[in-house]
Amino acid sequence: MDVQLNFINNSNDVNNSDVIIFQKNEATDFDELSVAWMVIKYCGFGDNHPFTFPMSMTVGASDSYGNPTPQLEAEFGKLYSMQLTTSGDRLVAAGNGTSAKAVQVRNDLMKGVINASIYKSGKLLATKTSITRDRPAVFEFKPTIWIGVASQIMQGEVMNSAITYNINTELSLLGIASADIVMTGGGPGPNSTPFSFTLDNVVMA
């Protein structure tokens, strides 16, 4: 079930800060770089920004010749395989994976590396590059989002570890149908406080 969210800026921000929303791939090590799934820009004091966070996702891949595949509906517990067919390289569903909690994409081409990506609402959520033959990319996500403030980040961009290290608010969406995400804090001068993000007006599914 999709979650209807509404970002509300009740902060004292004076820098036109960008609000970054992303998920972390739980199947990888600490150094995995996350993708800016959504960037909210120029949302002024008292303004709001409604958006939908879908539970569904799609998976896509590209080969070493620069050919992206169509996106397939992705399911946790399933394996997807990049294979050479009579019509070229294709991403196909290949049954169950080795983990019920993960989406796996395996490179079954005879030569070359592939990149694999997960999307939500058509926007890039996570990516793994240079996957060699017979190796799987593994994607696993909790029903949570990470949210924080940064600058000069483009939607769909892979963020460096310094940025994600400073974004430490994790909001659980488990069982939620809709909610407001309220940003407070910030401000100029020595009396400014850190930005804070809380869920308000929560409606459970």
Paired strand residues for 137? 105
pLDDT tens track for 7-27: 999 999 999 999 999 999 999
Residue 32 predicted with pLDDT over 90: no
Mean pLDDT, rounded, for 140-144: 96
pLDDT of residue 72: 98
CA distance 66 to 54: 28
pLDDT of residue 29: 66
Amino acid at 135: R
Mean pLDDT, rounded, for 25-42: 88
pLDDT classification of 48: cutoffs 50, 70, 90: very high
DSSP assigned state of 28? S
H or E segment at 164? Answer: helix 161-165
Higher pLDDT, 95 or 190: 95
What percent of the chain is modeled with pLDDT above 90? 89
H or E segment at 74? Answer: strand 72-74
CA distance 68 to 115: 9
Handedness of CA 193, 195, 196, 199 (dihedral sign): positive
Residue 31 predicted with pLDDT over 70: no
pLDDT of residue 1: 85
Instruction: Give the CA radius of gyration of the chain.
Output: 19
